[in-house]
Structure formats: C-alpha cells, structure tokens
Amino acid sequence: MIITTAKKIDDVLASVGDKRNIFIVGCGSCAKACKTGGEPEVLAMKEELESRGRHVTGWIVPDETCHMNLTRKLVMEHQDEFVRSDAVLVLSCGAGVQTMSALFEKTPVFPALDTGFLGNTKRVGDFVENCSLCGECVLGETASICPVTRCPKGLLHGPCGGMDDGKCELDKTRDCAWVRIYERLKEQGQLDKMRTIKPMKDYSRHTKPSSLNIGERARSKL
C-alpha cells in the first residue's frame, strides 16, 4: 500500500498556475484506501476547483492509476474531455502522476498528493511503515523485523549504545527494533543468528530507477 497525503489546495493551485480547464484523475487502489484519491475526494476536489473559478472538464478514477494499459483504456473513453483540458490534476501517488504524464506528454500533469511510504495496514485508515524497498531483504536473519526500516539508524547489527530500557534513544516512545529482534529470535530458538556478522549492505541493489520485465526474465532462463 503506497501511502499518500493531500497537498494544501493553495499549493495545488500555485502549481497549476493559470491553467483553467482541468481534468481530474483519482486512483481506486492505494489512494482510495488512504481516502486521498477515491471518488469522494475527486468530487470534493472538483467542487473546490470550481468554487475557485476553474472549469473541471471531467474526471475518472482508474482501478490502478499506475497500471499504464488499464489507465490508457479508460483515458481513451474520455478522450473528448481530455482534449478540452489544458491541465491534468492527479490524486494518486507519484507513479500514477507519471503514468498520466506519459500518456499526455504535451499536456501539463500536476500532483494533488504527496507520496509518503510503503505501508502495512493495521486497520482501516491506520498505516505503518515496515519496509523500505531496499532491494536486499534481511528478514530471514532478523525474525522478520526489518532493521533497515524499523531502526531509525538502519543498523544491521544492534542494539546500539543509545538503547535505553528497550526504547530507542531517538524516540523514547518506540521500542528498539534490535531488542524486538533479539526477543523474537530467542522465542524462536534462533539466537545464534544474533552472533552472525553481516556484510555491509549492498546499496547498489537499490539503484534508481529500477525496472523488472517478468517476461524477459523468464525468457533469459530458457
């Protein structure tokens, strides 16, 4: 789940500038779950823009705005409305914004949301970051608790000297990730993993931009 938050409307308008005819695009997946880009939020944005003198030419909420082929198909169904637009405002994560930009290279595309993090859903509307998408997963050695994300220092060996009574020195309300790793490994009878010296993290595996074509990967194995 990609977590997004809404930009202030004044910041959105400052970004859009003097564009008057605006098409709005939401997202029926992550942004919908975050209540930042589903149909209610798109309609609220439409009302806000129109109250400020802008003309909304139309709107759509793709199931997954980052899915280029599905979004392209929906866009084609609203081609006439897009043609009358001099800007596209997207209520999705940055991936969705860039999907729309790729579809409309000659039309300015603007984000209405800020993209935060990859979140686990604790309950509806309550998210927590447990994974940093680092490209080199160590969860098998750390009892499925990610130190890269859940330790503010990203330590691969811990706890550090700043741990105090099981809490992180940088945030006294948070449990030290490495204390939790130790306790869970102990419960699982895997404490020997705490004694393993891990090599330096290979950050080259997290080079940007990343890409993956599953079909090409499968052919390379033939």
> Nearest-CA neighbor of 184 among 128, 151, 145?
145
Q: In Å, how far are 51, 56, 189, 190 from 47, measured between CA atoms?
A: 6, 9, 58, 57
Give the model confidence (pLDDT) of 115-160 as tens digits.
Answer: 999 998 888 888 898 998 888 888 989 999 999 999 999 999 999 9
What pLDDT does residue 222 have? Answer: 58
Question: Would you kindly state where each structural domain of the chain is located, as residue ranges?
Answer: 2-117, 130-206
In the three-class reduction of DSSP (H, G, I as helix; E, B as strand; rest coil), residue 180 is classed as helix
| Contact call for residues 31 and 112 (beta carbons, < 8 A) | no
Q: At what angle do helices 68-77 and 94-103 cross, to 10 degrees?
A: 60
Contacts with 212 (C-beta within 8 Å, 6 or more apart), sequence order: none
pLDDT in tens, 11-43: 999 999 999 999 999 999 999 999 999 999 999
- Given a contact cutoff of 8 angstroms between Cβ atoms, the answer to whether 115 and 94 are in contact is yes
Q: What is the CATH number of domain 2-117?
A: 3.40.50.11860
pLDDT digits (tens, 9 = 90+) for 167-220: 999 999 999 999 999 999 999 999 999 988 888 888 777 777 767 677 765 566
Q: What's the pLDDT band for 110 if we cut at 50, 70, 90?
A: very high
Q: How far apart are CA 212 and CA 147, in angstroms?
A: 25
